[in-house]
Chain A
Amino acid sequence: MRIDNYINEVTKNMSSDQQKEVADELKTHILDSADAIASAKNIEVDEGIINEAVSRMGPPEKLAKMYPNRIWKLEKIVESDMCAKCGTCTVICPNNILSFEGRPQLKEECLRDGHGMCFEVCPRVSSGKYQIKIRENFKEELYYGKGSVKGQDGGAVTAFLKHLLEMKKIDGAIVVGDEYWKPVSLIVQSADDLVKTSKSKYTISTLEALKTAGDMGLEKVAIVALPCQINGLRKLQYFPYLAKHEEELGRTGKPVKIPRIEYLIGLFCTEKFDYGNMKKILAENNVKMEDVEKFNVKKGKLLVYVNGEEKKIDLKKIELCSGCKMCRDFDSELADVSIGSVGSPNGYSTVIIRTEKGEEIKNAIELKKGVNLEEVEKLRGFKLKRFHREVQRRKENNEFISFYWASDYAGVSKRADGTYFIRIRAKPAGWYEPEEVKEVLDVAEKYNARIKLTNRGAYELHGISGFDIEEVVTRLNKVGLVTGSEGPLVRATLACPGKENCGKGLIDTTGICRIIEDKFRERPTPYKFKIAVSGCPNKCMRPQIHDAGINGIEFPQTNEEKCNGCGRCSEVCKVEAINIRGETSYTNYDICVGCGKCLRSCPHEAREVKEKGFMLYIGGKAGREMVEGVSTKVKTVDEVISIINSVLEVYEKYADKPQRERLAATMKRVGQTKFLDEVKKGVKG
């Protein structure tokens, strides 16, 4: 019906509550108008009259624009059940205008409609996992252990927190507490309070306490949280790297005040339940929520302990938080240490240590090797299967999906049209085996992508659907094609054909490029870092406008015995640095650039190498502002590598704003001399 189509067109981009109201209003207005038209013509209302009334309303786009329509940027994530209900957005709003009652919501008008921190920290908009992983260097060591404090299974969380509090490594811990099992987030500042919080809660709890801790003036905390919350909190820790700018300032001109997060303790989680619904189901099973002593989830059943007795309730009966279906993380992959019951004998906790901070749990409880990894893998697999089922379901029903896991992988970015492109890290000096190119072709054909060659020699596959990202990256990795070279890290090194291939080349650029790649490939940096290798002073790869660049050099000297003053060298010299006087050629070293051309062109081999090595440039850049790198002469490849390494360390030390300051800007701000002195010190040490 034309009237319904028209109304759909007008309301399609409105928020769901406004959509219905406007649709209802508009319908009566149009029908009233139709009535008036019909009565003026003295006839009954029919389809034609209604259509005329519709056309009098004007084009639907024009009308749609006139409606006040301020939607919170995260609304789509929430209303489409992509929201994990982690509560991170609510915590970090600098104006404190987000509330969380079953779902996050704006309490009052947001001047920027949510185009700020809440959106940028949301783990369901983007996980940010790859950039986080290369900075945290996660490992995975599985143990099982038992704390001496009473807890859920082995009391490991409680024991660790007790240790951290006693050793004053933290001034407080944010944990999930409860009021008769209704989860609330709590701040615990003493080991004694810990006991009250130590049994597992299974429903949605937010991180409100983190904000309160900030207001209380706590400076460093440990947070016990679920996988989705850990993801959000890590994004918060690395905010400028991921968002490409500083934290949002509120109306008061300050970002939200929260303590420094020192330890992230992740829990194992298959899903969260809706508290209200759980209470109802328990009541149906004659269990009062307040009487429950302990909950556990095992083998698809919720185990409820009342008065020492165990009751089993089929999990399928309880409504789980729908956003949990889109979760891929069972064991809190991004935590410092993850703790749960799966894989350990009864009465013990499984402990997965991922970082150095996580290692400190060894000081709190005794850990043994021998976790049943299969059990853990089984639940990881279960979660992933459920995730894939849900993705498929949304695909088939044309429901909204946010491909938040795209940033789990290196080199995956969004295109302007909403599809993705995947950058394959350029092979050293751009050399490819035919099989590799064939694979790129095959993948492009299979996934209907276009192939683009970038100016830094990478293959990019454009137009990849969000549904295919995982498959494509996995497949490329199988044949040794690594994706990446995107983001604040060392990009693929550029190299010219060099000595092995070009007559003018003085050094084996491909070999050196490989050495540089092996050492620095994808190393995290404050802002993108580009390296180039040129074979000779022609500098075809523009090393002088890269963050680090080298070119080969060879300076000549005349063997006066062999030289007869024929003048050939002087003729070919590109910079006119050679003078023939009598029967000898003289080189003006103030002008000579060390390209080595004269050496090769002498018919009598009368020009010999005086000095050879590399010109190294540090701190060049092009782009918005062009800066030429500072140059020094270097003898060996090892020197080149250790200088670049030192440069990266000093850059990391001084860079002020991640994703804002290229090396050139940092060097300018700190002072070139000071910066380079520290680089030299770093090389010596």
Chain B
Amino acid sequence: MSNVFKRFETEMRRGAIQVAVMCLLEDEHYGYDITKNLKNSRLSVEEGTLYPLLRRLENDELLSSRWDMRDSRPRKYYRITGYGKEVRENCLEFFKSINTAVEQFEVDMDPEKED
């Protein structure tokens, strides 16, 4: 049973993290900062896994990035793009509608109605 749930959890989490990152990057952040923020939420993520994801989202033009040379060490800053904002809207809509639907199914599971 736990294997099945683990798979379910991983897939749901992957989708949720992508949306979370897109929300977080309304403002500019650098890599490790994003990890920290996610840790503080319930969507903790293994450190390594975030960085390939950021690259993927950037390839898809949902994020833009820039290297900043000012601090003690060069840092790569990310933020969401205009196109990313559109996609994010759709994702958030989608999550909410799924949530509503699932809640309704849960409510409908009234024990009195079971045959």
Contact = CB atoms under 8 A, between A and B. Distances in A.
Interface of A: 22, 24-26, 28-29, 31-33, 36, 56-58, 62-63, 66-68
Given A28-B76, A29-B31, A58-B46, A36 B51 contact: no
Chain B binding site: helix, strand, loop or mixed by DSSP? helix
Contact of B59 (A33, A36, A68): A68
21 contacts: A22-B55, A24-B74, A28-B30, A28-B32, A28-B75, A29-B31, A29-B32, A31-B73, A33-B35, A36-B36, A56-B47, A56-B48, A57-B47, A57-B48, A58-B47, A58-B48, A58-B49, A63-B52, A66-B48, A67-B56, A68-B52
The 7 nearest A-B residue pairs measured at CB? A32-B32, A66-B52, A57-B48, A67-B52, A58-B48, A29-B31, A63-B48
Nearest to B39: A36
A300 B55 CA distance: 50
Nearest to B56: A68
A68 B48 CA distance: 14
Looking at B30, B51, B74, the one whose CB has the most chain A CB atoms below 10 A away is: B51
B92 interface: no
Interface residues of B, number: 21
B55 A68 contact: yes
B53 interface: yes
Contacts of A28: 30-32, 73-76
Nearest to A10: B48
Given A28-B74, A36-B36, A67 B55 contact: yes
A63 B67 CA distance: 22
Contact of B49 (A31, A66, A68): A66
B79 to A, nearest CB: 15
Contacts of B59: 68
B69 to A, nearest CB: 11
Contact of B30 (A26, A32, A56, A58): A32
A109 to B, nearest CB: 10
A68 B54 CA distance: 10
B32 A25 contact: no
Contacts of B73: 28, 31-32
B76 A25 contact: yes
Nearest to B52: A66
Contacts of A25: 31, 51, 55, 76
A25 B54 CA distance: 11
Contacts of B30: 28, 32
Nearest to A58: B48
A583 to B, nearest CB: 85
A31 B30 CA distance: 13
Contacts of B32: 28-29, 32-33, 36
Nearest to B33: A32
Contacts of B55: 22, 25, 67-68
Contacts of B67: 24
A672 B35 CA distance: 71
Contact of A29 (B46, B51, B56): B51
Given A36-B32, A58-B48, 14 more contacts: A24-B67, A28-B74, A28-B75, A28-B76, A29-B31, A29-B32, A32-B73, A33-B32, A36-B36, A56-B47, A66-B48, A68-B55, A68-B56, A68-B59
A462 B33 CA distance: 54
Interface string B27-68: 000111101100000000011110111011001000000010
Contacts of A66: 48-49, 52-53
Contacts of A26: 51
Contact of B31 (A32, A62, A68): A32
A602 to B, nearest CB: 77
Contacts of A57: 47-48
Nearest to B50: A29
Looking at B33, B48, B75, the one whose CB has the most chain A CB atoms below 10 A away is: B48
Interface in B65-89: 67, 73-76
A33 B47 contact: yes
A66 B50 CA distance: 9
A106 B30 CA distance: 31
A2 to B, nearest CB: 15
Interface in B90-107: none
Nearest to B32: A32
Nearest to A68: B56
B65 to A, nearest CB: 9
Nearest to B60: A68
Contacts of A29: 31-32, 35, 47, 51
A58 to B, nearest CB: 4
A409 B32 CA distance: 55
Looking at A22, A25, A31, A57, the one whose CB has the most chain B CB atoms below 10 A away is: A25
A256 to B, nearest CB: 28
Looking at A22, A62, A68, the one whose CB has the most chain B CB atoms below 10 A away is: A68
A665 B47 CA distance: 58
Contacts of B76: 24-25, 28
Nearest to A64: B52
B75 to A, nearest CB: 5
A402 to B, nearest CB: 29
B54 to A, nearest CB: 8
A67 B59 CA distance: 11
B63 to A, nearest CB: 13
Contacts of A68: 52, 55-56, 59
A26 B75 CA distance: 10
A353 to B, nearest CB: 53
A35 to B, nearest CB: 8
A32 B31 CA distance: 9
B11 to A, nearest CB: 15
A394 to B, nearest CB: 32
A33 B39 CA distance: 13
Nearest to B67: A24
A56 B76 CA distance: 20
A68 B63 CA distance: 15
A28 B75 CA distance: 6
